[in-house]
Amino acid sequence: MALLVSAIAVGGYVFMRGRNAAPDYQTAEIVTGDIEIAISAAGKIQPKNYVDVGAQVSGQLEEFFFEVGDRVEKGDLLAQIDETLAATKVEADRAQLKELDASFAQQQASLELSKANAARADMLYKADAISQAEYQAAIADRKIAAARLTQLEAQIERQNSTLEADEATLEFTKIYAPMSGTIVSQSAVVGQTLNANQTTPTILRIADLTIMTVEADVSEADVLRVKKGQDAYFTTLGGGNGKWRTTVRQVLPQPEILNDVVLYKVLLDISNDDELLKPEMTAQVFFVSGSAKDAVLAPVAALRDSRRSQSAQRGEGERRRDKEERRGLMAAQASGLGEEQNPRRAAMRETMAANPDAERKMVTVLENGELRPQPVLVGLTNRTQAEILFGLSPGEIVVTGQAFTAPTAQSGDRTRRPPGMGRRGPR
């Protein structure tokens, strides 16, 4: 029973202290600084220009002349594939070509003889010295010899083509650099047998590391705010606070869908003459959609809608501040009937005309211990700060919120308040 009475007494005391609680205003100072609105995305760093070097012939990989990380120039010999079979085939082609050349020379002589026999037969036939059958046989031998020579010419041409193809195959056993750059990876090892009959085996990759491309994955919710030429910057895991600034080169139209999430590739190029950026690095990319330098900045917590709806759930301190704001607005309206009598209102309209996207908000200014409502125009806004285009100056103090402090036994009903404040607001 004694415990129950004690609990009721403690509860009543706490309830009465809560009823007597007075608002303790939280404030912040208006400052100048830079503000930036950016869309963030994750990405990978890749060389802009690279080529996968493969083998065009099958055979055993005999030797590499460079290692991963070496710089190569276009035309440098990179690797050698066993050329035994290709060289043997070239030698056989050349031998067969010699044989055809000899047959061609023999057939040329046969053609000359056939022509002479045909000419003599024509003369004898006109002199009625030989029969018509002998004459026709001589003419046929000449035509057959000419056709045989033409056939050998075609065979020689075909053999020359075969020889050229086999010589090219022999040359393909030597792998040359197709571009200048750095060897960034190697996919084959010495002694490995390469099979180029079905697919082209990749041996190594050469990349130009002086220009890198960041491939950022932007969600479909943000991609419409990313445009070609838009300013952007990115950071890397090992880059500390360093930022690489660039612009958007391209937004690829075809998305990738990963786990029902639609992502669009956005490409950004960056100069990398010092080669600090490496392939496959992870980058945190920020696409700048708005920024301002040396702007007047206020905390977002200090901003309120210019016409705030009344709610029974708001606290006593919040309703008290609304009442003070309404009084201030009525006094401001009574101070001037037109823009000629109220230069501040005219200046605000000019600012709104120059910044059509600005929003009208209200703040509560603490000045000489009193609360004063102040209409403002807001430009860029991020999660914590807002750009004030009109209405506030650096150094002014604004209210960002209220807390309720119960009176203590030593101080009675006193609470921590701004100077000049009584229990129920400004004096």
DSSP string, 170-192: HHHTEEE-SSSEEEEEE---TTP
Q: In the 8-state DSSP scheme, what is residue 199?
A: S
Q: What are phi and psi of 54, to 5 degrees?
A: -120, 180
380/35 Cα distance (integer angstroms): 7
Q: Which CATH number fits domain 38-50+207-292: 3.40.640.10, 2.60.40.1180, 2.60.120.10, 2.40.30.170?
A: 2.40.30.170
Q: Is 41:217 a contact under the CB 8 Å cutoff?
A: yes
12/385 Cα distance (integer angstroms): 42
Q: Is 61:175 a contact under the CB 8 Å cutoff?
A: no
H-helix segments, 249-408: 316-334, 343-354
> Is the predicted pLDDT of residue 366 greater than 60, yes or no?
yes
Phi-psi region of 59 (alpha: psi -120 to 50; beta: other; left: phi over 0): left
The whole-number average pLDDT for the span 252-269 is 94
> Is the predicted pLDDT of residue 4 greater than 80, yes or no?
no
Q: How many C-beta atoms lie closer than 10 Å to residue 45's C-beta?
A: 21
- Tell me the CA end-to-end span of the chain in Å, nearest whole number: 47
Which tokens belong to 216?
């950022």
Predicted pLDDT of residue 317? 54
Residue appearing with tokens 């030593």: 410
**How does strand 359-367 pair with strand 370-381?**
antiparallel
> Is the predicted pLDDT of residue 357 greater than 70, yes or no?
yes
- Provide the CATH number for the domain formed by 21-35+296-426 in this structure: 2.40.420.20
Q: Is 388:294 a contact under the CB 8 Å cutoff?
A: no
Predicted pLDDT of residue 15? 47
Q: In the 8-state DSSP scheme, what is residue 341?
A: T
For helices 84-126 and 132-172, the axis angle rounded to 10 degrees is: 160
> Is the predicted pLDDT of residue 231 greater than 70, yes or no?
yes
Q: Is 406:23 a contact under the CB 8 Å cutoff?
A: no
Tens digits of residue pLDDT in 172-190: 999 999 999 999 999 999 9
Q: How many C-beta atoms lie closer than 10 Å to residue 333's C-beta?
A: 11
Transcribe 228-258 into DSSP letters: TT-EEEEEETTSTT--EEEEEEEE-SS-EEE
Q: What is the mean pLDDT of the chain?
A: 83
Tens digits of residue pLDDT in 148-170: 999 999 999 999 999 999 999 99
Residue appearing with tokens 């920024």: 291
Report the share of the chain in percent with pLDDT over 70: 80
Q: Which amino acid is at 71?
A: R
